[in-house]
Structure 1
Amino acid sequence: MENRRRVMVLVLLIFILILTGTIGYRFLLDIPLVDALYMTVITVSTVGYKEVTEMTPEAKLFSMFIIIMSIGTVGYVVSNIVSLFVEGEIKEAWKLKRMENIISKLENHYIICGAGETGFYTLAQFKKQNIPFVVIDSDKKVIEELKESDILYVEGDATHEGTLNKARIAFAKGLVATLPKDADNVYTVLTARQMNSELHIVARAVEENASEKLKKAGANNTVSPNEIGGIRMATMMLRPKVISFLDAITHAGDVVLSLEDVNIREGSSLCDLTLKDSAIPEKTGLIVLALRRKEEKNMFFNPGPNERLHAGDAMVVLGRDDQVKKLREIAHDTEG
């Protein structure tokens, strides 16, 4: 926007100079407008072509004025045009270097491979919750959009080790593979798993049998947008009240509620307390929907008041972000 204004100012200055010269020669020499424009152009450009008529003393003085003005104006215009290009390149290089420095220091962050239709909504959620992440994409148009949004990115192929290294995969906490082709997602997952065995990987599955291949390659979880969309549409048609309820508890008017998992750390005041004694709803306003024991993979839902909490357990809760933050402080959970 600023560059556009500068260009408009430069064009306006040149227009005013030519208009002033044309009107001045028209009245001082009593010549047609075309001849007056010609006189202005040869004077401003200082090419030295022959005048269209005999110059009067007033016209000569006016010519000197136009030459002096044109030298200043043209010089200003040229210097600004050069600076627009040079400053733009320098600014772009500085922003890229600054972003690379930020990425080089990332730890416990997430990597989103592919910022297409699915990846866009994924990164929007990460950005909304202020979670550190970096996007990998090779599409020039997508890269430009990421630049405008001030989102950390690595331009390149997510299936290549070098690109993943630039995104600090060795220090990453998780990776989301949302590339448009299953083959690319499988190769990305396979490469990422070899580079970081502790990485939590979620991958997009397009084809029906892609989920099994992705899990064999090393994905912890897979998501099929087509399948999820189809199930939701069927449920909205067959059981609309269920969908209305789910929408209501996650978008309650102007207050947006979230489902979050909170881990109980060693030394937390919640350790060895029952759910009833922990008084989580009273202290935070949250609803505890499920528990997952440290030694178990599966969750059990709607835990009773006598269920005892232990270090390493995870609670799935429903509530506002500020309520979840309060519970994390109580549970000493720093990984939210």
Structure 2
Amino acid sequence: MSEKKKLVYILISVLLLLIIGTLGYYLLTDLSLFNSFYMTIITVSTVGYKEIGELDVLGRLFTVFIIFGGLSLVFYAFTNFTSFLIEGELRDIFRRRSMQSKIEQLSNHYILCGAGETGHSVIEQFSKTDSPLLVVEDNKDKVNNLIEQGIMAIQGDATYEPTLHKAKIDKAQGLITSLPSDADNVLIVLTARELNQNLYIVSRAIEKNADVKLKRAGADNTISPNVLGGARMASLLLRPTVVSFLDVITQAGEELLDLEDVVICDNSDLVGKSLEQARIPERTGLIVLALKNQGSSELRLNPSSDEVLSAGNTMLVLGKIEQVDTLRELACDRRT
């Protein structure tokens, strides 16, 4: 039984004891209903006030019952209430210390600024992977709720430089800012870029042309939930078959299929082999959708089987998380 339920049952028991005591004195004495209630209160509380009515033997036995019942109930309630407070505080202290210890050891992690609706969608996606995510949120209740769920979170204003230092931004590899204000997002991007030149930054864009300002501030990419949502709604009407197909290839039953990029490192056995020789679909179960050369932004879609893999090539693949992990091992891609 949870502690909250125990407290509810205790309150109900106290109420029942008062009702039983009031009715008992009312029936066993010539006291009025109010005086019977008053007699019950001074008996249960054992304040030592003088009895306000004449009690016979049965009345005195009933009083003994009320006294013992009241004392037992009060002692039990006090013990549980104290335990509830102490254990709750200790649990909260240990949870926060454990969370702080994890945060202090963070490296190559991702930072999310803002735990609103967009932020929660980001958290859900990260929860499906092993990638470390630290949430920075100004709302104390939201932070406590995230910590209770086992999600690393700190309270603070992400537009302040000390808060980003606290989130170990100098050791982070990526940052997402999803605050409801373009001005705040621009300020976070500016500050974050100054603190970590190698950080990959993705920002939420709200107003029209906000993406231009964000990229000038240092964002690598921007996303507009309003634009994406509108485009998808239009596609559902104009191209429902295409949207249904995309939903199918990215959601197979209970298992999520994901698009991932894998970089081929110098010491990988895949270097110098053609796609046919690498046999990636057979060895991993993944579908290779595109290739990109190191230093290039051009994606070569549907590469031929004769395409030779080189160090620094990036492969865009579709499959399950564990299949992507297998390919990362083959490619010696140590990113988390």
Separation of aligned partners in 1, 2:68 and 2:286: 75
The aligned residue for residue 12 of structure 2 is: 12
The aligned residue for residue 287 of structure 2 is: 287
Amino acid at match of 1:277: Q
1:307–1:13 Cα change, 3 Å: same
Secondary structure of the corresponding residue to residue 271 of structure 1: coil
The aligned residue for residue 89 of structure 1 is: 89
1:132: Cα distance to partner? Answer: 0.9
The aligned residue for residue 275 of structure 2 is: 275
Sequence identity of aligned pairs in percent? 47
Separation of aligned partners in 2, 1:312 and 1:95: 42
Separation of aligned partners in 2, 1:142 and 1:217: 28
Any idea what the Cα deviations from partners look like across 1:157-215, whole Å, max 9, x if unmatched?
11111111121111111000111111101100111111111111111111222112111
1:55–1:159 Cα change, 3 Å: same
Secondary structure of the corresponding residue to residue 201 of structure 1: strand
Secondary structure of the corresponding residue to residue 208 of structure 1: coil
The aligned residue for residue 2 of structure 1 is: 2
The aligned residue for residue 329 of structure 1 is: 329
1:19: Cα distance to partner? Answer: 4.2
Moved more, 320-329 or 12-21: 12-21
Amino acid at match of 2:39: M
1:138: Cα distance to partner? Answer: 0.9
The aligned residue for residue 244 of structure 1 is: 244
Separation of aligned partners in 2, 1:160 and 1:320: 38
Secondary structure of the corresponding residue to residue 318 of structure 2: strand
Secondary structure of the corresponding residue to residue 233 of structure 1: helix
The aligned residue for residue 173 of structure 1 is: 173
1:45: Cα distance to partner? Answer: 1.8
Alignment of 1:184 with 2:184, yes or no, is yes
The aligned residue for residue 208 of structure 2 is: 208
Separation of aligned partners in 2, 1:229 and 1:33: 65
The aligned residue for residue 262 of structure 1 is: 262
1:36: Cα distance to partner? Answer: 3.4
| Contact 2:30/2:53, CA 8 A, preserved across alignment | no
Q: Give 1:306-325 correspondences, 5 Å limit.
A: 306-325=306-325
Separation of aligned partners in 1, 2:239 and 2:13: 67
Secondary structure of the corresponding residue to residue 136 of structure 2: strand
1:213–1:20 Cα change, 3 Å: same
Separation of aligned partners in 2, 1:69 and 1:314: 75
Moved more, 258-267 or 59-68: 59-68
Separation of aligned partners in 2, 1:236 and 1:11: 54
1:11–1:236 Cα change, 3 Å: closer
Alignment of 1:160 with 2:160, yes or no, is yes
Secondary structure of the corresponding residue to residue 290 of structure 1: strand
Moved more, 83-92 or 24-33: 24-33
1:30: Cα distance to partner? Answer: 6.0
Separation of aligned partners in 1, 2:64 and 2:239: 85
* TM-score of the pair, normalised by structure 1: 0.91
Moved more, 39-48 or 68-77: 68-77
RMSD: 2.3
Any idea what the Cα deviations from partners look like across 1:96-141, whole Å, max 9, x if unmatched?
2221111111111100011112111111101112321011111244
1:103–1:255 Cα change, 3 Å: closer
The aligned residue for residue 129 of structure 1 is: 129
Moved more, 301-310 or 253-262: 253-262
1:315–1:64 Cα change, 3 Å: same
Separation of aligned partners in 1, 2:48 and 2:181: 65
| Contact 2:137/2:156, CA 8 A, preserved across alignment | yes
Alignment of 1:303 with 2:330, yes or no, is no
1:24: Cα distance to partner? Answer: 4.4
Amino acid at match of 1:112: L
Secondary structure of the corresponding residue to residue 201 of structure 2: strand
The aligned residue for residue 67 of structure 1 is: 67
Amino acid at match of 1:242: V
| Contact 2:134/2:153, CA 8 A, preserved across alignment | yes
Moved more, 51-60 or 298-307: 51-60
Amino acid at match of 1:67: I
1:244: Cα distance to partner? Answer: 2.6
Moved more, 234-243 or 114-123: 234-243
Any stretches of 5+ residues in structure 2 without a counterpart? none
Count of residue pairs the alignment pairs up: 336
Any idea what the Cα deviations from partners look like across 1:53-84, whole Å, max 9, x if unmatched?
32324433443443344333323323433343
Moved more, 164-173 or 136-145: 136-145
Separation of aligned partners in 2, 1:257 and 1:64: 70
* TM-score of the pair, normalised by structure 2: 0.91
Secondary structure of the corresponding residue to residue 290 of structure 2: strand
The aligned residue for residue 217 of structure 1 is: 217
